Structure 1
Amino acid sequence: MQIEAVKAIVSGELLLEEAMKKYDVKDKRTILSWMKALSPLIEHDAGCRDTIKEEIEPPPYVHEYVVKENQLLKRVIVLQDQLRELEEKNAQIQAHRNLLIDKVTRLELKLQTRENREATPDV
């Protein structure tokens, strides 16, 4: 099962999250440790057949995958921070807008009251 999961991820058949669901793995670190241990043994040949290698080579796929995933996670965090800042600014702008609308409404009422007094003759 571990070899199948690693083969599917390394070949691009499945994303890490998809493999976690398919093979019922709860923790991402479990699959990453499988990849670290098994990806040097998996050889992807030109016939699209995965075989086990006899010799051990450093695993390029795991490192590249982890680095890329970390970069994406950092970008998501930055975007979430920016979104939070924009939502805060939006809330401030809406509060300011509501204050301005309230002031305009009060001024319109004062103006209307003044016009009504001027239009009504004194008794």
Structure 2
Amino acid sequence: MKKSRKDTQIEVVKAILAGELLLEEAMEKYDIRDKRTILNWMKSISPLVQKKTEPAPHVHEYVVKENSLLRKVIGLQDQLRELEEKNAQILAQRNTLMEKVTQLEGKLHAQEKIETTSDV
């Protein structure tokens, strides 16, 4: 049985208020194209689904919290990308140094071989 529009609205608002879904996740799951649609639902429905003893939080608070979390995630992704780039540079430098060490060991071994043959 298909849910009514009001039931869907209530389900979306409850899931967001419970922290089960972020705004973008709800938009994707319920195929909602405009963030303002859910924000309007939250304004009208959240006081109805909240417990009577609990004051209804403002929709603005949710948006601010969500935006700050998204900013943190983006910042962490940027830091991760920078660290991955630095790691790649360090690995490249390590490989270059390893090649140089191998060449120097080869030269040293060749030098020692020449010295041992000339001593005989």
Q: TM-score, normalised by structure 1?
A: 0.69
Tell me how far apart the structure 1 counterparts of residues 15 and 75 of structure 2 sit (CA, whole Å): 30
What is the deviation of 1:85?
Answer: 0.8
CA RMSD across the alignment = 3.1
Residues 73-112 of structure 1 mapped to structure 2, 5 A cutoff: 73-112=70-109
CA contact (8 A) 2:12 2:26 kept: no
- Hey, what's the Cα distance between the residues in 1 that align with 2:52 and 2:45? 17
Deviation at 1:62, TM superposition (A): 1.7
Superposed displacement of residue 45, structure 1? 3.4
Q: What secondary structure, in the 3-state scheme, does the structure 2 residue paired with 1:60 have?
A: coil
Supply the distance in 2 between the matched residues of 1:86 and 1:13 (Cα, whole angstroms).
31
Q: Distance in 2 between matches of 1:110 and 1:18?
A: 66
Q: Which has the higher contact order (CA 8 A, sep 6+)?
A: 2
Q: Of Structure 1 and Structure 2, which has the larger fraction of its residues in helix?
A: 2
Which residue number corresponds to residue 13 of structure 2? 6
- Establish whether residue 45 from structure 1 lines up as the match of residue 51 from structure 2: yes
Q: State how far apart, in whole Å, the 2-side matches of 1:7 and 1:79 are.
A: 29
Question: What fraction of aligned residue pairs are identical, expressed as a percent?
Answer: 57
Q: Say how many residue pairs are matched.
A: 109
What are the ranges of 5 or more consecutive residues in structure 1 without an aligned counterpart?
48-58
For residues 30-61 of structure 1, the C-alpha deviation after alignment (integer angstroms, 9 at most, x for no partner) is 4234223x2365253359xxxxxxxxxxx734
The DSSP-based 3-state class of the residue aligned with 2:31 is coil
Partner secondary structure for residue 42 of structure 1: helix
Structure 1's 105 and 8: CA in aligned 2 closer, same or farther, altered over 3 A?
closer
Distance (Å, rounded) in 2 between the aligned partners of 1:122 and 1:14: 81
Structure 1: which amino acid aligns with 2:9? Q
Matched residue, 1:15: 21
User: Which is strand-richer, 1 or 2?
Assistant: 1
